[in-house]
Amino acid sequence: MSGRFTRTNSMAQPSSLQVVKDFERASSPLRVFVDAKKKINGIFHGLYTHIEDSRKFMKSDATGDADIITTEEKEKIDGFSDQVDCIAEILARDNMKVAFFGRTSNGKSTVVNAMMRDKVLPTGIGHTTDCFLSVEASNLDEAYIITPDSEEKKSIQSVNQIAHALSSENLNDQSSMVRVFWPKTRCHLLQNDVVLMDSPGVDVTTGLDEWIDKYCMDADVFVLVSNAESTLMRTEKGFFHKVSEKLSKPNIFILNNRWDAAASEPEFMDAVKQQHLERAVDFLVNELKVVTAQQAEDRIFFVSAKEVLQARIQKQQGMPESGGALAEGFQARLFEFENFERKFEECISKSAVITKFEQHGRQGQQITQEIQALMESVYERAARKRASCIEKRKEKGDLLDHITKQLTILTTECKDKIKDISEQAEYKISSAMTEEIRRLHILVDQFDRPFHPDPLVIKVYKEELQKFLEEGLGRNLDARCSSTVLQSLEQTQTQMTEHMSALLPEERQSQMSSLIFRRDFDLSYRLDCRHLCADFKENIQFQFSLGLTAMMNKFLGPKGTRVALTGFTSMMPRHLPPPGPATGTNQSSPDEDVAVAMVSGLASLYSRTSVGLIFIGGIIWKSVGWRILAVAGGMYGGIYMYERLTWTNKAKERTFKRQFVDYSAEKLQLVVNFTSANCSHQIQQELSTTFARLCQEVDTAKEALNKEIVVLDAEKNKLEKLMNDSKLLRNRANWLESELMRFIRQYLGNED
């Protein structure tokens, strides 16, 4: 059958007819549902995409902070995703559904076939349809069916065996559903997402509640097909009473089928029609209370489905609609059927838009509003946190600038202070060391080691004296200078620490003293007397104080005496060297020549002095007498003997110490500036080290501030991105809400 109608249709549809059909399809009220479905599907697809973007946004690293987005909000978005996914799935498969009910043999299947303009469902005398038949659109060119027990696509011809009550291959289960897939190109109803559901007679089963729950809850329109040759039966009314109890004001059309039978009794036609109309109106208005009396008249029709089906098949085969054995008044009944189809299409389209889309549209509106509120909340929290972050960033930046400027000022001040302290210490140590050199004899006199003129003993004595002198000078300088200098050093360190600590965080300020001060620092004077006095040569030979050399030393000084004695060499003739070998190996050295010259000079001096003394003594002898000369000579000799006898080890020790004091004082005077400068350098080094440690702490604090600023900048940038993303998502949700509101205004006729 399918092949026959397919071949006939392809031959009987010229291009002009196709244009007319396309126009009818485009102008059909069913297009409202199709357009609304397409529109709301597009909106929900956008909403689903938006929710998925929102989920990714809320689970991204940028929103990892619990202060910005809570776990409950993330779970809420996940719930929206599941909810919209479910709604989108329902919308994608939603169709306009019309269910045909009535008693057996009232022509339900014929009405469906007439609306489809083809013999699709089985028809015949008596109880024909033995199960539910759902006629749905197929994108294929060939029709097929699917039974409840299998997903296999079976030939459309098998529907007569499977669904026919008289067939031995039927399902034997009136509540079963056989799905009939018919090419949508053959029926404009199917092209507009209409599903037609035929049913067994309501008078052949008691399972009405099961039928309603299983197949009627999602129906948009119910068509009660009654027999115009009888009246509405209790079984028909009972079924729709149950439907009305389960559904709020269902859309019900009543078709009084087989109205062509009234053509044989034209004198009773109007009266019968009025009778049927009154009873049907009363049923819809007073019993079911689903419409008003005025609306009920547009829900009741008197038709002959068999005539319409026959006429439409003839038309598709290229023959006149009115050809064949048709009862009188066919055109009026055809017009009535077409009027039913128009009213039906208007009703089902409007009803389906409301029943299928209104609830989902409201849900989508609510979801978009909640997403907007959620994103607005995220935006506000991120904005507050960003403002706090900017404020902290400014505080850290200002603090860093303040530390940098103060560090520059303190660096100059500390360097000047270090220079002043070092110079003061140098002057103080220099003055103290000069004073100690003047008092060196007191320190040397305190040395009480045993003294003996033996060279080995003197060597040890000299080393111990040098060590004693070094230690004593160190102690004296330490007593005179170290405490004052170290106190000044510590005060300076304390001042530097206080000033620099003010630039550090509070938790670090209390730790600065223990980190900066060196408790083991002490001044080291480094006199090293052993090396300074290493060239000291003592002279502890006896020298008579009234001797010529001693007298010359007294009046001329040691240097003058040496010059005077050396000067006599010019008066002495240079002796020729003693004869020796021609090689000259026995020639005297220059030092020997000087020594010989000095000895010769002294001999000459004494010889001349002796002559002079004898001469002077002769004069005095004659002048004063011999007694006086004897007394003077005795006194001179006595003094000599006294000094010679008192030239003991003690005298030698005193002479040694006096010579050592003179020598060491001269040497120490040479290192006064070096020692004071060395101590000054130690102080400068200690203060510079302290300052460097303080600067290091400040630099560490600056580095920490810089790291905090970098972190705050990164946080601020992250929050700004968070704000921008949440703002975009909020605006997209707002746009989707406006689209849903526009959809509701356009297709549901209200704004609320």
**Residue range 573-627, pLDDT digits in tens:** 544 445 444 444 444 444 455 444 554 554 454 444 445 556 666 666 666 667 7
Predicted TM-score (pTM) of the model is 0.62
Specify the residue for token string 């299983």.
214
Is residue 634 over pLDDT 90? Answer: no
Is residue 669 over pLDDT 90? Answer: no
Over range 377-393, report the average pLDDT. Answer: 92
d(CA 293, CA 503): 92
Q: What is the pLDDT of residue 708?
A: 92
Read off the pLDDT band of 397 (50, 70, 90): very high
What SS3 class is residue 254? Answer: strand
Contact 103, 236 (CB under 8 A): yes
pLDDT digits (tens, 9 = 90+) for 119-144: 888 776 555 566 788 899 988 888 88
d(CA 752, CA 742): 11
Is residue 409 over pLDDT 80? Answer: yes
Q: What is the pLDDT of residue 3?
A: 37
Interacting residues of 28 by C-beta distance below 8 A, sequence separation 6+: 188, 192, 345
Average pLDDT taken over every residue of the chain: 79
Read off the pLDDT band of 450 (50, 70, 90): confident
Is residue 74 over pLDDT 50? Answer: yes
Please give the sequence-ordered ranges of beta strands (E in DSSP) within 81-131, or none if there are none: 96-101
d(CA 278, CA 253): 14
Q: What is the pLDDT of residue 285?
A: 92
Q: What is the pLDDT of residue 603?
A: 47
Is residue 6 over pLDDT 80? Answer: no
Q: What is the pLDDT of residue 165?
A: 52
Closest CA to 372 of 750, 48, 41, 50: 50
Q: What is the pLDDT of residue 380?
A: 92
Over range 637-647, report the average pLDDT. Answer: 80
Q: What is the pLDDT of residue 376?
A: 93
Over range 93-107, report the average pLDDT. Answer: 84
Contact 399, 705 (CB under 8 A): yes
Contact 462, 492 (CB under 8 A): no
Q: What is the pLDDT of residue 710?
A: 94
> Of the ranges 379-393, 683-697, 700-714, which one carries the lowest mean pLDDT score?
683-697
Is residue 569 over pLDDT 80? Answer: no
pLDDT digits (tens, 9 = 90+) for 456-496: 888 888 888 888 888 888 888 888 888 888 888 888 888 88
Q: Which residue has the higher pLDDT, 111 or 587?
A: 111
Q: What is the pLDDT of residue 4?
A: 34
Which amino acid, one-letter code, is at 304?
A: S
> Of the ranges 183-192, 199-208, 412-421, which one carries the lowest mean pLDDT score?
199-208
Q: b/e map of 10-43 (b: 16 or more CB within 10 Å)?
A: eeeeeeeeeeeeeeeeeebbbbbbbebbebbeeb
d(CA 465, CA 198): 136
pLDDT digits (tens, 9 = 90+) for 18-31: 444 454 555 577 88
